Structure 1
């Protein structure tokens, strides 16, 4: 562990130098720009000056998900927030929507922009893309921030597993029928107002059980576009099947030995369970973990100011890694992660070993 990076306590945010309260700059400083790369138009938001931050959104989402935090981060950093291919304002061709392909797209955009070093911040699927980017293009990466990231273990929201089944994905076409989305919004508001949601264990409030409903309905609303819907299904099937998430980053986490890493997770994430934060943190002993109490899958929406303070604090107290090809070769030659290096209680370490045994990255 770097001497500049304090140890963390699983499940709680690490302490560090105090970060002053940030005042958002004008929204006009955030620009939406486009580049055509390999024949496809790529959209991205960009703002600020200074060291580069690459913000990667989740499946079905787009760069607007970061709109509250970009102006605050842009006071100190150059912030690049792309719309992944098939998402947002980027083109939506019949193309490769695998995690490695998305990582390639991030590399290509950075090359076009002339940026050679970045801290990568990935949310949900974007966390999996961020980890893959670090593996494929380590020379670009200075630090890594994983926000409710996919690609830790198999477990994921059952609805996502269901959509991967043959024929079920066709039901997404129902979203295009007038009145369907307003009806779904109304049902969600009604359930949240109930004292108890049927099928949810007693003691869990409706708001907690439906913590992420507003953001998930927002994402569903974007899938009324048939091209966006098709890209969503292709992307989902690349990473999830009926059993859950199909790949894990844990078999290669040993390669992050010198890379500063921060996990950020909501306590009540209904998409990717909070346990994944503990497992990832256990598998990467030098990592830090910031828990957002009461938050769901979008902690940067629940408390954007605190999210920015956590991220900027991490950036300030850690030293950017400089890629060392000899060290990379040594790490790969030694055979990977060893169980005795994991941290956490017996149950958490057991979960790491089980994930590494049952799920493997094929790329």
Structure 2
């Protein structure tokens, strides 16, 4: 089933395990799976999908609990999302992909590569979770006891309109020292709009509880980073990211020495939206200059047998104070 979406391609729907999932599929060539972040949806990739579709088959889903996908009482863990992406790709007849994950979607991308290495060719992480503990306090508040009641009030029509209009006005603020704090507020306005849906708020709250507590991010790739030895990895971050600190990109050098790391200036938590042409160039170069991972069960078993449960120590705020 298809319906006309607001992106450059039609939105398609498929039902898997009784749950309807929305996605965009466009272009032809090697397959890219684009995974959006917490409380966003596939439209976060709108500026890069048309450019990527010239050379690649692009699959951009709305993760369960987001966008036009169903928002049931379900498994909102990283493992659950990875399973869902495996099942979606299977239904679409796509065997192997380069996975590109933004923010929370980066955590899903790493989990997908861990659970299904035989189906993962490469991984690109964009301002990703899972590389350190720090995260903006605003996300931590989602699990606060009064968050749901507060959101019911803050998303009533008149007040919501005032909030989103203000956020978008601030986002259009020009240059100057405040720009790094206001750059991503248009995305914040879109998130506030989505929270008018009670089911979306339910899904986001359960998702946050699965990966974040009051101390910060719970899930980390550090204990399993050695498994990326045979998996090409690239990392892209915005220098002015106010959601997940850019210093987390430095952890990649310790965790995955062969990974490429690019920090884009004049960019916040959404570098693919701030600099779409440069982002596409980086992704295209990553695909062109790396051989796709080839899964070997014997090699994977050997890495598991000789790996370590303790990865390199991650950079924290205290280290840079």
Question: TM-score with structure 2 length normalisation?
Answer: 0.91
User: Are 1:254 and 1:284, in contact at CA under 8 Å, matched by a contact in 2?
Assistant: yes
1:294 and 2:258 correspond? no
Distance in 2 between the 1:153 and 1:229 partners? 25
For 1:11, the equivalent position in structure 2 comes to none
Does residue 96 of structure 1 match 2:75? yes
Q: 1:294 to 1:29 in 2, by over 3 A?
A: closer
1:244 corresponds to which of 206, 216, 224: 216
Helix, strand or coil for the counterpart of 1:290? Answer: strand
Is residue 150 of structure 1 aligned with residue 129 of structure 2?
yes
Following superposition, the deviation at residue 280 of structure 1 comes to 2.1
Correspondence for 1:253: 225
**Shift in Å at residue 338 of structure 1?**
7.2
SS in structure 2 of the partner of residue 45 of structure 1: strand
Name which one, 1 or 2, has greater alpha-carbon Rg. Answer: 1
Distance across 2 between alignment mates of 1:241 and 1:337: 22
**Taking CA–CA contacts closer than 8 Å with sequence separation of 6 or more, which of the two structures ends up with the larger relative contact order?**
1
Contact 1:192 1:206 in 2 (8 A): no
| 2:64 paired residue among 54, 63, 85 | 85
Distance in 1 of aligned mates of 2:102 and 2:301: 29
Match of 1:201 in 2: none
Quote how far apart the aligned CAs of 1:170 are: 2.6
Matches within 5 A, 1:177-256: 177-188=156-167, 205-256=177-228
Matched, 1:131 2:103: no
Counterpart of 2:121 in 1: which secondary structure? Answer: strand
> CA offsets per residue over residues 200-222 of structure 1, 9 Å max, x none?
xxxx8222123321111211211
Tell me which residue corresponds to 2:279: 307
2:213 and 2:17 map into 1 onto residues whose CA distance is 29
Residues 254, 337 of structure 1: 8 Å contact kept: no
In the alignment, structure 1 segments of 5+ residues that lack a partner are 1-26, 196-203, 343-348, 356-363
Instruction: Measure how far apart 1:183 and its partner are.
Output: 2.3
1:47 and 2:26 correspond:
yes
Structure 2: 5+ residue stretches without partners: 1-5
Contact 2:170/2:185, CA 8 A, preserved across alignment: no
Residues of 1 paired with 2:69 and 2:115: CA distance? 23
Within a 5 Å distance, the mapping from 1:268-279 to structure 2 comes to 268-279=240-251
8 Å CA contact 2:31–2:97 kept in 1: the answer is yes
CA contact 1:49–1:77 (8 Å) conserved in 2: yes
Tell me the equivalent position of 2:119. 140
* 1:351 counterpart SS class: coil
The number of residue pairs the alignment matches comes to 313
Inter-CA distance 96–192: structure 2 relative to 1 (3 Å threshold): closer
SS at match of 1:143: strand
TM-score by length of 1: 0.81
Question: Equivalent residue of 2:24, what SS?
Answer: strand
Equivalent-residue separation in structure 1 for 2:115 and 2:46 (angstroms):
28
Asked if residue 122 in structure 1 is aligned to residue 101 in structure 2, the reply is: yes
Residue 293 (structure 2) pairs with residue 321 (structure 1): yes
State the match for 1:30 in structure 2: 9
Instruction: Report the CA distance between 1:29 and its aligned residue.
Output: 6.6
Contact persistence 1:175–1:181 (CA under 8 A): yes
Deviations 1:90-148 (Å, cap 9, x if unpaired)?
11111111111000000000111111110000001000000000011110000000000
